[in-house]
Homo-oligomer: A and B are copies of this chain.
Amino acid sequence: MNLVLLFPEDLLAPDRARLAGRRLQHVREVHRAALGQELAVGLLDGNMGRGRVLRLDEEALELELALAQAPPPKLPLTLVIAVPRPKVLNRVVAAAASLGAARIVLLNAWKVEKAYWASPKMKPENLRQQMILGLEQAKDTVLPELRLARLFRPFVEDELPGLLEGGLGLMAHPGSGTPAPPIGATPVTLAIGPEGGWIEAEVQSLLKAGLQPLDLGPRILRTETALAALVGKLF
Contact with A98, one of B2, B225, B230, B232 (Cβ below 8 angstroms): B225
| CB pair B72 A222 closer than 8 Å | no
Check: A12 CB closer than 8 A to any chain B CB.
no
Check: A217 CB closer than 8 A to any chain B CB.
yes
Check: A194 CB closer than 8 A to any chain B CB.
no
Cβ contacts under 8 Å, A229 to chain B: 99, 228-229, 231-232
Shortest A171–chain B CB gap in Å is: 16
Check: A137 CB closer than 8 A to any chain B CB.
yes
| CB pair A72 B218 closer than 8 Å | yes
Cβ contacts under 8 Å, A217 to chain B: 72, 100
A137 and B222 in contact (CB under 8 A), knowing A72-B217, A217-B72?
yes
| CB pair A221 B98 closer than 8 Å | yes
Check: A233 CB closer than 8 A to any chain B CB.
yes
Cα distance A24–B162 in the bound complex, in angstroms = 46
Cα distance A2–B233 in the bound complex, in angstroms = 24
Check: A138 CB closer than 8 A to any chain B CB.
yes
A95 and B219 in contact (CB under 8 A), knowing A229-B232, A231-B229, A232-B230?
no
A176-234 at interface with B (beta carbon < 8 Å): 217-222, 224-233
Cβ contacts under 8 Å, A220 to chain B: 2, 137-139
| CB pair B228 A232 closer than 8 Å | yes
Closest to A95 in B: B225
Cα distance A98–B228 in the bound complex, in angstroms = 13
Cβ contacts under 8 Å, A218 to chain B: 72, 139
Please name 13 pairs of A and B residues whose Cβ atoms are closer than 8 Å in the assembled complex, sorted by A. Answer: A95-B222, A98-B221, A99-B219, A100-B217, A137-B220, A137-B221, A138-B220, A139-B219, A140-B219, A228-B232, A229-B229, A229-B231, A232-B233
